[in-house]
Amino acid sequence: MSAKIANKSNTPTMADQADIHNLYEESVQNVEVEVEFLQTTFKALTGRTGYLFREDFCGTAGTSCQWVRQGREFQAIGVDIEPSVLEWGRNNNVSRLPSEDQARVSLIESDVMTVVTPSVDLLAAFNFSYFIFDTRDSLRAYFCRAYEALKDDGVFFLDMFGGPEAQQEMKEKTKHKGFTYVWHQAKFHPITNFIRCHISFRFPDGSRIKKAFTYEWRLWSAPEIRELLTEAGFSKATIYWEGEDEDGDGNGEFTADEKGEADLAWIAYIVAEK
């Protein structure tokens, strides 16, 4: 859990008043762009609109809530093992939807390895959450469950990160309005690809929330993920690589790519067709 570093007076610091889930959403999510990518890619691959969406490792379920904003026919199922994060999502994301949209989001407290849901059009596992599986067998077993959860023409969406900087022990700071987001790659073991990362937040008054979130993952490579998806039954697993703007920075537009570029640090989507 997070450690708040307070000042010596009794006045609440900015860290005391902040909410880690709000800070997380602001720092690492862009659910509008994500849902547009999901729907556009699904339509391009299947020739139809996807309506029923499942979000594994949904956390605060921001993507599920954005999904149902597309209209009355759209439904979302969010799955997460942690009751407190689902509770936060219900109170802060689901409850802020127009009341007619709220009933079309179901949040299920469960392990993604055991949850049973109706067959869905699209299934997503974002922000690298499936990196918790640290053997080929356990990751393949999760991919098999994802395969089973989809309709016959369903599509499974994942994201990943890589590049030589992903294997470095380092801190990266990003300024946001009112706080700084700190991504800390604290440990990397090159023999196992074990990586431990922390998310911390710093505030203009000097207060901090240290280690608001900690992840222990295996840093999977693109060929390993693609091979395991195929072994799990998917007919095709394609990497969608990010395009560049004129300065060489990522432009947020992802297109199917067979090779990628030797960037120092990159994020990509993996799109697996049943």
**CB 10 to ligand SAM: min, Å:** 33
Whether the CB-CB separation of 19 and 26 falls below 8 Å is answered with no
58 counts as binding ligand SAM under rule CB under 6 A = yes
Residue 257, both tokens: 């790519």
Site string for ligand SAM, 102-121 (x = CB under 6 A): ---------xx---------
Question: Considering only residues 65-104, where is the footprint of ligand SAM by CB under 6 A?
Answer: 79-82, 85
Decide: 117 and 79 in contact? Cβ < 8 Å: yes
Give the residue with the Cβ less far from ligand SAM, 42 or 131: 131
Q: How many residues are recorded in the chain? A: 274
Q: Is 144 in the site for ligand SAM (CB under 6 A)?
A: no
**Closer to ligand SAM at the Cβ: 32 or 82?**
82
Contacting residues for 100 by C-beta, under 8 A, at least 6 apart: 72
For residue 132, state whether it binds ligand SAM (rule: CB under 6 A): yes
Q: Report the C-alpha gap between 272 and 123 in whole angstroms.
A: 10
| Nearest approach, Cβ of residue 36 and ligand SAM (Å) | 15
Instruction: Count CA within 13 A, CB hemisphere, residue 173.
Output: 6
* Nearest-approach distance from CB 9 to ligand SAM, in angstroms: 34
**Who's near 143: CB < 8 A, 6+ residues apart?**
156, 228, 229, 231, 232, 233, 234, 272
Q: What string marks each residue from 5 to 34 as x (binds ligand SAM by CB under 6 A) or -?
A: -----------------------xx-----
Verify binding: residue 57, ligand SAM, rule CB under 6 A: yes
Query: Which pair of tokens denotes residue 70?
Result: 């597309």
In the complex, the smallest distance separating the C-beta of residue 4 from ligand SAM, rounded to whole angstroms, is 20
Q: Which residue is nearest to ligand SAM (CB)?
A: 59
CB of 254 closer than 8 Å to CB of 126: no
Tell me if 7 sits within 8 A of 207, measured CB to CB: yes
Binding site for ligand SAM (CB under 6 A): 28-29, 57-59, 79-82, 85, 111-112, 126-127, 129, 132
